[in-house]
C-alpha cells in the first residue's frame, strides 16, 4: 500500500509539472506573439523559452523584444517636413543624368527615416582609427560653440583619456560639450573618469541604463550603436570607429581595420538632429522643450555640390529604414554591389537580394573578416557562403586584422557608410545611423578602398574543406541568426 501511495504521489507530481509547463509555454507564447516580431525570430524565441522552463521568463523579460516609443522634437520634425518635398528634386539638379532607380532609393529613405536629401560641401573618407582621431582632434579644436558626441563604445583607455582631456580643455574655454554614451557598450566609464569632464562644465548622459530603477524593465537589448560627432552644427562625423585603443593603430598594431566619414555643410544639420533627439530621449526631457539655442545648433549652411542623405533606424521605428535602404540599393544595382561588413547574418530577403543581383549579372562581392570577434557570428556567416557562391557572389575573407568597416558600393552613384552591420541586430534591434552619398565622389573612394582591402583578403571557394564538426557548428549557429 505504501508503494501504491508513493507511485500515485509521483504521478500527481508529474501531472502537476506537466500542467505548470503547459501554462508557462502558453503564457510565453502569447507574450512573444503579441510582440509581432519576424516569424523566424518569434519561432526561435518560442523554442528557446520552451526548452528553459521558468528561466526562460527571466531571459525574455530582460533580453526579449520590447515596444519602445519616444517623442520627437517637434520643431526639428517641422523643419524636415518642409524640406523633404524638395529632396529628390535637389538630387535631380545635382545629378541630372542619374537613373530613376537612384531617385527611388532617395525617396524610400525620406519616407522611412524622414530625412531628405541634403548636400555637403566636402566629404572625406577616413581610413583607420588613427586618421579618424586626427580629424576629430582637428574639428574639436576648431569648435567655438558646441561639441556633441554619441558613441556606442567610449573606453577609459589611452585613446579615450586623450579625447576626454581635449574635451575638458574645450569646455573650460566656453564650448558647450555634450557626451552621450551607451550604458552597456561604455560600461567601463566610471564616475572617476567622467567627473573631471563634468567639473569642467560638460554634460554627460547614458543611453538605456541597464540597471533596474529608472525603468521597471531595464532595456538591455536595444543599444545606441551610433557613432556621431558634430562640431558647431557644421562639421559631422559618422562611421564604424569607436573611441578605443582597439581601433587606434598608433597604440595597438593589430587594431581593427575600419573606416569613418567626415562631412561638412548642410548634411551636418541632420546628424545634429539625430543627436539632439537621442539626447532628449536619454535625459527623458519633454520634446516640446527645445534647446533655447536651437538656431545655433542648426545653423544655416550653404548648399554644396555633393548630395548626401542621413538615414537612421531603431526599435522605435517599425519601418526598418536602413534595412530597406540596403535592400533597395542592392535591388537597384545594374553593374556592381560591393559589400563590406564585419558581421554578416542576412535575413532571407537580404540573402535573396544579393543572390538575385548576382544571378542577373551584377558583380556582387562580399568582404568579411576571416575571424570576427564573435565565433558564433563568424560561424553563422560561413553557413551562407555556399548558397551565395553557387549563385555567383564572390566572397573574400580579410585576414590581416579584424575587419570592422561597414560600407556598400552600388554602381557608380550610391555609397553607404555608417554604423550598421549586415545582420539582424543592426537591422532590427540597435539604434543605427548611416550616410548615403549619391554620385561618384564617395562611391569612388569606397570602391578604391574595397580593392585595396582585397589585397589582404583570401577568396572563399565553393565546397570548402571543412570537417563535419565545423559544418555542424556553422549550421547550428545559423539557427541562432535571429537572436545574434
Instruction: Clarify whether residues 166 and 258 are in a common domain.
Output: yes
What grid cell was written down for 196? 573631471
Which residues are within 8 A (CB) of 414 and not within 5 positions of it... i.e. 6 or more apart? Answer: 102, 105, 329, 332, 408, 436, 437, 438, 443
CATH of the domain at 178: 3.30.870.10
Decide if 348 contacts 458 (C-beta within 8 A).
Answer: no
The per-residue b/e assignment along 33-65, b for 16 or more CB within 10 angstroms, e otherwise, is eeeebbeebbebbbebbeeeeeebbeebeeebb
Which residues are within 8 A (CB) of 82 and not within 5 positions of it... i.e. 6 or more apart? Answer: none
Instruction: Clarify whether residues 28 and 53 are in a common domain.
Output: yes
Angle subtended at Cα 199 by Cα 196 and Cα 202, rounded to the nearest 5 degrees: 95
Which ranges constitute the DSSP H helices of 283-403? 294-297, 321-332, 348-359, 375-382, 385-390
Instruction: Clarify whether residues 242 and 144 are in a common domain.
Output: yes
Instruction: Clarify whether residues 147 and 187 are in a common domain.
Output: yes
What grid cell was written down for 212? 533596474
Which residues are within 8 A (CB) of 131 and not within 5 positions of it... i.e. 6 or more apart? Answer: 260
In a structure prediction context, what are the per-residue pLDDT tens digits for the chain, which is 484 residues long?
454 455 546 567 667 766 766 776 676 666 566 655 666 666 666 666 666 665 665 666 655 555 555 555 555 555 555 554 466 666 776 676 677 888 899 999 999 988 989 999 999 999 999 999 999 999 999 999 999 999 999 999 999 999 999 999 999 999 999 999 999 999 999 999 999 999 999 999 999 886 655 554 556 678 999 999 999 999 999 999 999 999 999 999 999 999 999 999 999 999 999 999 999 988 876 555 566 777 788 888 888 999 999 999 998 888 999 999 999 999 999 999 999 999 999 999 999 999 999 999 999 999 999 987 777 777 778 888 989 999 999 999 999 899 999 999 999 999 999 999 999 889 998 999 999 999 999 999 999 999 999 999 999 987 766 665 666 555 555 566 555 5
Instruction: Clarify whether residues 36 and 167 are in a common domain.
Output: no
Last residue of a domain, one of 270, 304, 338: 304
Instruction: Clarify whether residues 27 and 82 are in a common domain.
Output: no
At 244, phi and psi to the nearest 5? -165, 150
Angle subtended at Cα 139 by Cα 296 and Cα 313, rounded to the nearest 5 degrees: 70
Instruction: Clarify whether residues 296 and 189 are in a common domain.
Output: yes
Nearest to 74 by CA among 213, 222, 280, 262: 280
Instruction: Clarify whether residues 452 and 325 are in a common domain.
Output: yes
Residue 385 covered by a domain = yes
Give the alpha-carbon dihedral of 243, 248, 252, 254, to 10 degrees. 110
The count of residues in the chain is 484
Residue 381: predicted pLDDT: 80
Q: Which residue range is the domain that position 21 belongs to?
A: 2-63
Instruction: Please state the domain count of the chain.
Output: 3
Nearest to 166 by CA among 132, 190, 196, 186: 196
Last residue of a domain, one of 40, 63, 86: 63
Radius of gyration of the chain, Cα coordinates, nearest whole angstrom: 24
Instruction: Clarify whether residues 257 and 355 are in a common domain.
Output: no
Question: Distance between CA atoms of 241 and 131, rounded to whole angstroms?
Answer: 10
Show which residues are catalytic.
Answer: 225, 227, 232, 404, 406, 411
Residue 77: predicted pLDDT: 54
Question: Distance between CA atoms of 93 and 96, rounded to whole angstroms?
Answer: 6
Decide if 283 contacts 247 (C-beta within 8 A).
Answer: no
Residue 85: predicted pLDDT: 47
Amino acid at each position: 500500500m505504501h508503494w501504491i501511495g508513493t507511485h500515485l504521489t509521483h504521478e500527481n507530481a508529474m501531472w502537476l509539472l506537466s500542467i505548470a509547463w503547459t501554462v508557462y509555454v502558453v503564457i510565453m507564447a502569447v507574450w512573444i506573439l503579441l510582440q509581432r516580431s519576424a516569424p523566424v525570430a518569434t519561432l526561435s524565441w518560442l523554442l528557446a523559452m520552451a526548452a528553459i522552463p521558468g528561466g526562460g521568463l527571466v531571459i525574455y523579460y530582460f533580453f526579449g523584444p520590447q515596444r519602445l516609443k519616444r517623442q520627437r522634437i517637434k520643431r526639428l520634425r517641422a523643419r524636415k517636413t518642409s524640406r523633404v518635398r524638395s529632396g529628390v528634386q535637389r538630387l535631380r539638379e545635382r545629378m541630372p543624368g542619374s537613373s530613376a532607380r537612384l531617385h527611388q532609393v532617395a525617396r524610400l529613405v525620406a519616407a522611412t527615416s524622414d530625412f531628405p536629401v541634403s548636400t555637403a560641401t566636402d566629404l572625406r573618407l577616413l581610413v583607420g582609427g588613427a586618421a579618424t582621431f586626427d580629424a576629430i582632434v582637428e574639428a574639436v579644436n576648431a569648435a567655438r560653440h558646441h561639441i556633441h558626441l554619441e558613441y556606442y563604445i567610449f573606453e577609459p583607455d589611452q585613446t579615450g583619456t586623450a579625447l576626454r582631456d581635449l574635451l575638458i580643455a574645450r569646455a573650460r574655454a566656453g564650448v558647450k560639450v555634450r557626451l552621450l554614451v551607451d550604458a552597456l557598450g561604455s560600461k567601463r566609464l566610471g564616475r572617476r573618469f567622467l567627473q573631471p569632464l563634468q567639473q569642467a562644465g560638460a554634460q554627460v548622459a547614458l543611453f538605456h541604463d541597464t540597471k533596474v530603477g529608472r525603468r521597471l524593465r531595464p532595456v538591455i537589448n536595444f543599444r545606441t550603436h551610433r557613432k556621431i560627432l558634430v562640431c558647431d552644427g557644421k562639421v559631422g562625423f559618422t562611421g564604424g570607429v569607436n573611441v578605443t585603443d582597439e581601433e587606434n593603430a598608433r597604440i595597438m598594431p593589430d587594431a581593427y581595420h575600419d573606416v569613418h566619414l567626415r562631412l561638412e555643410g548642410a548634411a551636418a544639420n541632420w546628424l545634429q538632429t539625430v543627436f539632439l533627439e537621442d539626447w532628449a530621449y536619454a535625459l527623458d526631457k519633454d520634446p516640446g522643450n527645445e534647446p533655447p539655442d536651437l538656431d545655433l545648433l542648426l545653423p544655416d549652411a550653404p548648399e554644396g555640390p555633393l548630395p548626401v542623405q542621413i538615414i537612421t533606424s531603431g526599435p522605435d521605428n517599425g519601418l526598418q529604414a536602413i534595412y530597406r535602404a540596403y535592400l533597395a540599393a542592392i535591388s537597384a544595382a545594374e553593374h556592381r554591389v560591393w559589400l563590406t561588413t564585419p558581421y554578416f547574418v542576412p535575413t532571407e530577403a537580404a540573402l535573396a537580394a544579393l543572390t538575385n543581383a548576382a544571378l542577373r549579372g551584377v558583380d556582387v562581392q562580399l568582404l568579411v573578416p576571416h575571424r570576427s570577434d564573435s565565433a558564433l557570428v563568424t560561424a553563422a556567416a560561413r553557413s551562407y557562403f555556399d548558397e551565395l557562391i553557387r549563385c555567383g557572389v564572390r566572397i573574400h575573407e580579410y585576414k590581416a586584422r579584424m575587419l570592422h568597416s561597414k560600407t556598400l558600393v552600388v554602381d557608380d552613384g550610391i555609397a553607404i557608410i555608417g554604423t550598421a552591420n549586415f545582420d539582424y541586430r543592426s537591422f532590427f534591434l540597435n539604434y543605427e545611423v548611416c550616410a548615403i552619398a549619391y554620385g561618384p565622389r564617395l562611391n569612388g573612394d569606397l570602391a578604391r578602398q574595397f580593392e585595396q582591402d582585397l589585397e589582404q583578403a583570401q577568396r572563399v571557394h565553393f565546397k570548402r574543406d571543412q570537417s563535419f564538426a565545423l559544418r555542424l557548428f556553422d549550421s547550428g549557429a545559423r539557427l541562432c541568426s535571429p537572436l545574434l
